[in-house]
Amino acid sequence: MTRVLITGFAPFGGERVNPSWQAASLVAAEPPAGLTVTAVELPCAFGDSLDALRDAVRTAAPDLVLCLGQAGGRPGVTVERVAINVDDARIPDNNGRQPVDEPVVPDGPAAHFATLPVKACVAAMRAAGVPAAVSNTAGTFVCNHVAYGLGHLIATEFPHVRGGFAHVPWAPEQVTDGQAPALPPATVAHGLRALLTAAARTPAGQDLKVTEGATH
């Protein structure tokens, strides 16, 4: 059995729900065959989120870690290729902190790449009927903070773990104008099960050799 840790965030920015945690909970409640899944909700806060993530990795002792965050406006699940070593918050986090141009990890490398097979993960979700894409930016808010922090934990403390980050769209209940893209958390969870299965079956260091680049 492959041990998986999946995380989502608490609601932020005045929202009542966070679809990343909704989807993570659903995956843990009904995991894919061959995987045991532990779900942990992270605080949407700089610093505290990484403390909680480190504790969760130590407790769950996972083989794979998938952290999730909300990306309102994106039409599908986006698997992040890279996270950068900068916090530059457009809005305050849930603790009222709003760092500007601060490193996630002082003296850390400029970026960490995901160690999950991002292209195989995207292909698996599409095959499951869930819109998905590779993303080359995780933003500069708490999502990127956690994505980078996870990469740094893997590089420095947990080299046997593979991990990455994915953004999920708004849940339908969050869309008030009837126009912004949204996906039900159950649909997202269905795609994430396919993602995790693909990640578990793909040997470390390998991925699909297909085009998923962007011109801008």
89: confidence class by pLDDT, cuts 50, 70, 90: very high
Catalytic, out of 112, 152, 167, 190: 167
143 is catalytic: yes
Q: Which of 143, 145, 152, 190 is catalytic?
A: 143
- Tell me if 31 sits within 8 A of 4, measured CB to CB: yes
Give CA–CA dist 60/36, Å, rounded. 10
Contacts of residue 199, defined as CB under 8 A and 6 or more positions apart, other chains included, come to: 64, 66, 116, 117, 120, 121, 162, 164
Mean pLDDT of 40-55: 98
Element (H or E) spanning 3, and its range? strand 2-9
What pLDDT was estimated at residue 176?
86
pLDDT for residue 178: 79
At 25 the pLDDT is: 98
pLDDT grade, residue 179 (50/70/90)?
confident
Q: Is 198 helix (H, G, I), strand (E, B) or coil?
A: helix
**Model confidence at 56: pLDDT above 90:** yes
pLDDT tier at 18 (50, 70, 90 boundaries)? Answer: very high
- Alpha-carbon gap, residue 48 to 37, rounded angstroms: 22
Distance separating alpha carbons of residues 19 and 173, to the nearest angstrom = 10
Is 80 catalytic? The answer is yes
Q: What is the mean pLDDT of residues 55-64?
A: 98
